[in-house]
Amino acid sequence: MRCVAETRYPHEVLGVVLSVRDGRLSALLWRRAEKPFVGRWALPGGILGADERLGTAVARHLARKVDIQEIAHLEQLETRSDPKRDPRGRVLATAYLGLVPAGAEPDLPDDTAWHPVDALPRTAFDHGSIAESGRARLRAKLSYTTIGYALAPDTFTISQLRDIYGAALGHEVSATNLQRVLLRRGVLVPTNSTVAPTRSGGRPAAVYRFRDRNLLVTNEFAAFRPGPA
């Protein structure tokens, strides 16, 4: 029987950290200062330690770029194993999806910034593709889980939540439909407070919160679709 020599390769962890910024779903990227891909933007992350678990490693690396306390949700996304994804040699990569609520303002290093996912700058390695995978995972889970809580502030109006969902999904969302679906699923709770109307007039807007700020499956067959303009 032929014996196959065992080869070990480095393994890195990457964070696809997403948040709605200025009305657009954005990813956190940092500009590389070393070869390869000097000057290109990359996902935060680094090498997995010899005695580390994946989740511990990604939390450690993200803490260098963003206040980990601001990340409301973190889950394993995917593993990339293309032998040619790194020109220096084979490196396996496991990516995590992290979500930061709109309105949170974590302190960022000078080399780190938010970039709209639909208009990313030139990225290093396969990081642009991984960021798109994170967006796809988020969009899918918005339809059947409560993951929207991780994008929203603690309290919000339905119009504010509509804008957050619309930015994440990439299409307009009907506030009426969104409210009806989330209330029917028991996801939202009224706070019994209101927001004063704008100069355009109208009634004060009711303020809501998510019933549970943990990920729950609500309807695995449901899907949000573009509503009427």
Structural domain for 114, as ranges: 11-142
DSSP 8-state code for residue 5 = P
Residues 13-31, mean pLDDT to the nearest whole number: 98
The reported pLDDT for the residue numbered 200 is 67
Residues 33-47, mean pLDDT to the nearest whole number: 97
Question: What percent of the chain clears pLDDT 70, i.e. is strictly above it?
Answer: 92
Q: How many residues does the chain have?
A: 229
Whether residues 179 and 137 share a domain: the answer is no
Statement: residue 133 has pLDDT above 70? yes
Residue 1 is assigned to a structural domain of this protein:
no
Q: Which two tokens stand for residue 29?
A: 């990227």
Residue 154 is assigned to a structural domain of this protein:
yes
Whether residues 175 and 125 share a domain: the answer is no
Whether residues 136 and 202 share a domain: the answer is no
Q: How many folded domains does the chain comprise? A: 2
Whether residues 119 and 172 share a domain: the answer is no
Whether residues 185 and 160 share a domain: the answer is yes
Whether residues 31 and 126 share a domain: the answer is yes
Residues 66-78, mean pLDDT to the nearest whole number: 93
Residue 215 is assigned to a structural domain of this protein:
no
> Angle at the Cα of 13 (from 11 to 16), degrees rounded to 5?
150
Strands 156-157 and 205-210: antiparallel
**What is the rounded end-to-end Cα distance, in angstroms, of the chain?**
67
Closest alpha carbon to 93 in 103, 105, 84:
84
Whether residues 97 and 202 share a domain: the answer is no
Residue 220 is assigned to a structural domain of this protein:
no
Contact 116, 26 (CB under 8 A): yes
Strands 92-99 and 112-116: unpaired
Whether residues 133 and 203 share a domain: the answer is no
Residues 65-93, mean pLDDT to the nearest whole number: 95
Calculate the CA 120 to chain-centre distance.
15
CATH label of the domain that carries residue 135 = 3.90.79.10
CATH label of the domain that carries residue 172 = 1.10.10.10
Whether residues 29 and 102 share a domain: the answer is yes
Mean per-residue pLDDT over the chain, rounded: 92
The reported pLDDT for the residue numbered 194 is 93
Residue 224 is assigned to a structural domain of this protein:
no
Residue 4 is assigned to a structural domain of this protein:
no
pLDDT digits (tens, 9 = 90+) for 205-224: 999 999 999 999 987 665 55
